[in-house]
Structure 1
Amino acid sequence: MPSDRVLIDRFLDMLAAEAGAAANTIAAYRSDLMLASVAAGGALAVADTDGVQRLAGGWSALARSTVSRKAAALRRFYGFLVDDGYRTDDVGQALPRPGIRRPLPKILSHGDVDRLFARIAERVAAKPVAPADLRLSALVELLYGSGLRASELVGLPRAALAADRPFLILKGKGGRERLVPISDRARMAVAAWRVHVPADRAWLFPSGREQGGKGHLSRIRLYQLVKALAADAGIPPDRVSPHVLRHAFATHLLEGGADLRALQMMLGHADIATTEIYTHVDAGRLVELVNMRHPLAEIDARRPPA
């Protein structure tokens, strides 16, 4: 049997090549597996059920989310060992399955979004308009109008959006491609901003002093810009972030009747269970929906009073 390190490397190579795992996922798996190997005295790959359970026993002080992540990494590793013939038994089944609740993202109301865009409109209407405000307008239009991830947004090439094409093709997590609709408003905002981006820049949102840098706007800087806009619009900054705007895009689309599967594709979720966290709606709306749409509502309406 090869050493733990060799087998872990082969497992991670498989994840990258066959499962298309992202670099951050590979790094997290490597860290968890190497720590487990150290705890198992370098015998992780040959551990029996008792050994695996003892290993998991050392996680008692960790958060449930951390235990869940470590157990998932080890289960997948042992599954790989069985699939590739290194083992005949899958001891990964002895690992705990603590289960964690996926936290609901912060909620941003329609009124909050209206206030953000009203403030942007005021700034863009200034004469002369500041290029930074045109950039902010394009950024927020794409965050809320298309549900882009922060990393996807800041990494858009300068020519990513065409005036005559109401969509773009993105490569998101795990190298998965998806089609993202782009609204007329967003395309207009991007066109107004792109005038201020030198033609020799690779990125739509360049970094550096006066766009003189070679890289693109950082996610941290995007985060700061969105927080500053929230404060300017009279909204507590801790309630607004790029991810909150992505969440608002999803929530408000669902409230408007969007199909969950279509939303899954637009957001780039591999598992629809991830998309389902956006289905939180208030109880009052659900009651109203049943009273208005359920067939029994029509029967009750036709029934004569007693």
Structure 2
Amino acid sequence: MRAAVLAVLLLGVTACGAENANAGGEWKPRGDVRMIVPFAAGGGSDLAGRAVAAALEKAQPGLKVTVENREGGSGAVGYSAMLGKKGNGNYLLATENAILSLPLSGQVSFTRKDFTPVAKLAEDGGILVVKKDSPYKSCSDVVNAAKGGRVSVGMSGAFGVDNVIFTMIEQKAGVKFQRVPFESGGELVPAVLGGQIQIALLNPGEVIGQFRSGDLRGLCVTTDKRYAYPELAGLPTAEEQGIDVSYVQFRGIFAPGGLDGRERAYWEAAAKGVTKTAEFQKWLKDNYLQQSELYGDAFGSYLDQVGTDLEPLLKKSS
């Protein structure tokens, strides 16, 4: 009798473990996966999260990834929501530079090490943009105007990549901008068109439609080289205009902290399939990004290095 009970228990344990394993004993997510985007719909982070979710589904047949926007606190609300999923491999998060700048700003208690780095997949730079009838013709004009008066700049989040770039410009040029934070890049476009702000810092994918229509103009880009894309190739870098500033935004994936080796291995392998999909390549092209890949520990090391570089800049400005 005792042997029979033991056999039943062993079968039960084996069956439970098999629910999240394939024939080779590797882990697989159980049911639908949730991709948290820590910013509002319509901005660059939202576009990135949805594109990566679609590419994951294509790269892993049978996988279902549902996107959930958790905006607020310049990304802090979404990242905090992910903290509560520790050890749960059925959650992912669309990450970008806010995971480094938020902790350095002192606004949150978590750091990037509270999450599992899965993959860095792409990079995009910022473009300083104005209305078509703005008196500013270059980023140098903006800096000179800020030396003698008030210049209002819109930012996607108070502590994200926009804050970093404007802080860099302020420190290099000895100026101060009037900052107006918004929850996403999607809110910046109507704000600059409506005259609520004079300058916006936007990713190419967020503003290319307004460039084509002529409603907005680009002044300079924050990449170290000009864009190769024909529609953006005419925009000079900030450095070409005498502003020694270069900074790009990465686009990547986090999983919750506390995952075991099998779960990490599954998501890293799945992410490596993302860049091979037509969905991902279309997102790159449509939004004028550059493919740039790092996985697992290599992605973690990259984050540590960028965080080290940012620390003196952001602590000086706080």
The TM-score normalised by the length of structure 1 is 0.27
Judging by fraction of residues, say which structure has more strand: 2
Judging by fraction of residues, say which structure has more helix: 1
Choose between structure 1 and 2 for higher RCO, CA contacts under 8 A separated by at least 6 residues. Answer: 2
The TM-score normalised by the length of structure 2 is 0.26
Kindly name which structure, 1 or 2, has the bigger radius of gyration based on alpha carbons.
1
